[in-house]
Chain A
Amino acid sequence: MISITQQSQRIVITLDSANIQPLDSTWQQALQGLLQQLQQQTAAGTAAALVQINFQSDKLDRHNAQPSALSREQAAACMQQLADYHELLRQLERLPVPTVAVLHGNIGEHAWGLALACHRRYSLGTALIHPRPAAPGLAPCGGVLVRTARLLGLQAALPLLLDGFELDSSIALELGLLHGAASDAPELEQSLLRAASMPRPPLQPWDEKRPLLPGGAVDSAGNLAFLQLAPARLRARADGATAAARAILCALAESLQVDFDTAVRIESRYFCQSAIALNG
């Protein structure tokens, strides 16, 4: 599932993207073990200057993906699993050296979620990012919605999360979701060297002292007007205001009004809500 090597000052990890699943305890245990190892290898006094995470292409079978319905009785356990996963991603974000995601081929939602928790993201060659759940009817989880919203802002994030357009490297780069698109290994190496010289400790945008939201604060005039119209626009869509679409809109709006950790809790609630709705 995970391989790890150290090459001089660089720790290189290779992940099988298909195994990345926030609600799978085997994956969570593996990730926890990895993070414990990384914390030791990047501690003060060690030689490590960069953690490179290579995401292996996912053989996505989107057409046959089955959504997992949740009962109300299962919601509390699901919330706890997502809270545990969030804590793991926060450990990744708080490592004292930069973490760099290298993306190639098909990158599914959960692998993308992990990549968003890295300080830098680069594509190598062709990368096709699938930012929304493969299974229709579910709102995102694992921090995907919250991190995407804080990177793009309210109005740019909503269509991406609702419609889940597949993003190739160039579009992802243009949107600001990638920090670079390398066509070959030497070009990637230059990007990695630049990433290694990031200020310490490396900070995610949402961990800055006064994080700025692209497109303005949620209560800015433009965003308030957008939010007032958004439900009506949702209802007017061809598929109407599905449970998942409602959950995504509400989670987006509410998560941007609170601190990051509270935002992910709200995202998790709306994920559970969408999963419960699948029961009809």
Chain B
Amino acid sequence: MEHAYLFDAIRTPRGKGKKDGSLHSIKAIDLVAGLMQALQQRHQLDTAQIDDVVLGCVTPVGEQGADIAKTAALVAGWDWQVAGVQLNRFCASGLEAVNLAAQKVRSRWEDLVVAGGVESMSRVPMGSDGGAWANDPATSLRTDFMPQGIGADLIASLDGYQREQVDAFALRSQHKAAAVQAAQRFRSIVPVHDQNGVLVLDHDEFIKPLTTMETLAGLKPSFAQLGAQGFDAMALARYPQLQQVLHVHTAGNSSGIVDGAALALIGSLDAGKRQGLQPRARIVSVAVTGSDPAIMLTGPAPAARKALQKAGLNIRDIDLFEVNEAFASVVLRFMAEMGVPEDKVNVNGGAIALGHPLGATGCMLLATLLDELEARQLKRGMVTLCVGGGMGIATIIERV
């Protein structure tokens, strides 16, 4: 059996996902092509040896459509022998791309794969791709669709997380991210330049270092109105043990809308040797699972258990975790359910502070995790995300 090694993981900075965001003027394809060129230059890669590019992108329409993976490889000037495919597993897409690349290498049917994701949420808004689940009444009625935010508030209601608790978690995310940024420790960042070499963005610009408990407390609950319009009744019918849904999530303790891209270079040891690459980690196991689609966001723990079981490991064998902060309650639930202390989780802050560029996040978290394992000389880490539709995904890596 072949092992899949992680040779490198890089990312763009995250730009604010609005028209005043620094990356709003940069097309998604240029975000990816820029990273591809950087990856090639960092390692003097012979791109003809790369079998495939697998890219997550959750809204693959308009300028993010038409298999952006293959198109970006062409724009980046990579050898035309490199194939490319775009995939969509909602928020998990970037990590799914990594996992698929690992599986390709372990199968021995491919040797060297670039995986990652891209999302320009300021240019191609979330939901632009339509889809039956939320937009077709027959589908929605049959599947009891509820928006994610209701799911997050449901978790808080079931587990008893009060507003102050989720806000305090969000504040810690901001403080951690701000500290790391000030110390310039996000080593996987590759600055974005325009076509003339002029710097566009070199840092995550969504972080709000001046956040306080007071500023967070002043934010209105984001999903109370939605709940009042019918989704609360659906939620309570599904979870009759609850008297009410506590609407504790706001813009301040939920993930931010941003632009960004990330890439990881994954391959066999031999493929790496041929390119003169040193592996930084091994992808030990990957897992994906379905979870309750109504509450939608409880997938990380079952996915984590599955990945641990596949690897023959125990939760205590994991030194650091990146658990996507889609909403504060998601991470609080994971830590409680898995018995993981917070000082091992999102030690550099998470998506509440940094933002969640949907298709890219999973690979961004992998890059951040790898950097931190190396910085602390620790051995194993796990990335996990909750996923729309009710899924969870997890990946375990081990430094070599």
Residues of chain A touching chain B, judged by Cβ–Cβ distance below 8 Å, are 72, 75-76, 79, 219, 254, 257-259, 262, 265-266, 269, 272-273, 276
Q: Once the chains bind, are A76 and B62 in contact (CB under 8 Å)?
A: no
Q: Once the chains bind, are B196 and A276 in contact (CB under 8 Å)?
A: yes
A79, A258, A269, A273: which contacts B123 (Cβ < 8 A)? A258
Instruction: Convert B186-197 into 0s and 1s, putting 1 for each residue whose CB lies closer than 8 angstroms to a CB of A.
Output: 000000001111
- How many angstroms from the CA of A276 to the CA of B195 in the assembled complex? 11
**A residues near B24, Cβ cutoff 8 Å:** 258, 262
Query: 16 pairs across A/B with beta carbons < 8 Å?
Result: A72-B196, A72-B197, A75-B196, A76-B199, A219-B62, A254-B27, A257-B123, A258-B19, A258-B24, A258-B25, A259-B19, A262-B24, A262-B25, A265-B25, A272-B198, A273-B196
- How many angstroms from the CA of A2 to the CA of B123 in the assembled complex? 41
A75, A254, A259: which contacts B197 (Cβ < 8 A)? A75
Shortest CB-to-CB span from A174 to chain B, Å, is: 33
Tell me the dominant secondary structure on chain A's binding face.
Answer: helix
Q: Once the chains bind, are B27 and A269 in contact (CB under 8 Å)?
A: no
Shortest CB-to-CB span from B115 to chain A, Å, is: 28
- How many angstroms from the CA of A72 to the CA of B25 in the assembled complex? 19
**A residues near B62, Cβ cutoff 8 Å:** 219
**B residues near A266, Cβ cutoff 8 Å:** 25
Shortest CB-to-CB span from B193 to chain A, Å, is: 10
Instruction: Convert B21-46 into 0s and 1s, putting 1 for each residue whose CB lies closer than 8 angstroms to a CB of A.
Output: 00011010000000000000000000
Chain B residue with Cβ nearest A275: B196
- How many angstroms from the CA of A259 to the CA of B25 in the assembled complex? 9
**A residues near B27, Cβ cutoff 8 Å:** 254
A79, A219, A254, A258: which contacts B198 (Cβ < 8 A)? A79
**A residues near B198, Cβ cutoff 8 Å:** 75-76, 79, 269, 272
Shortest CB-to-CB span from B350 to chain A, Å, is: 29
Shortest CB-to-CB span from A17 to chain B, Å, is: 29
Shortest CB-to-CB span from A217 to chain B, Å, is: 11
**B residues near A72, Cβ cutoff 8 Å:** 196-197
- How many angstroms from the CA of A75 to the CA of B198 in the assembled complex? 7
- How many angstroms from the CA of A273 to the CA of B198 in the assembled complex? 11
**B residues near A273, Cβ cutoff 8 Å:** 195-196
Shortest CB-to-CB span from B269 to chain A, Å, is: 39
Shortest CB-to-CB span from B125 to chain A, Å, is: 13
- How many angstroms from the CA of A273 to the CA of B27 in the assembled complex? 16
CB contact under 8 A between A269 and B194, given known A257-B123, A258-B25, A258-B123: yes
Chain A residue with Cβ nearest B195: A273
Given contacts A79-B196, A265-B25, A269-B195, 7 further A-B contacts (CB under 8 A): A72-B196, A76-B198, A257-B63, A258-B25, A269-B194, A269-B196, A276-B196
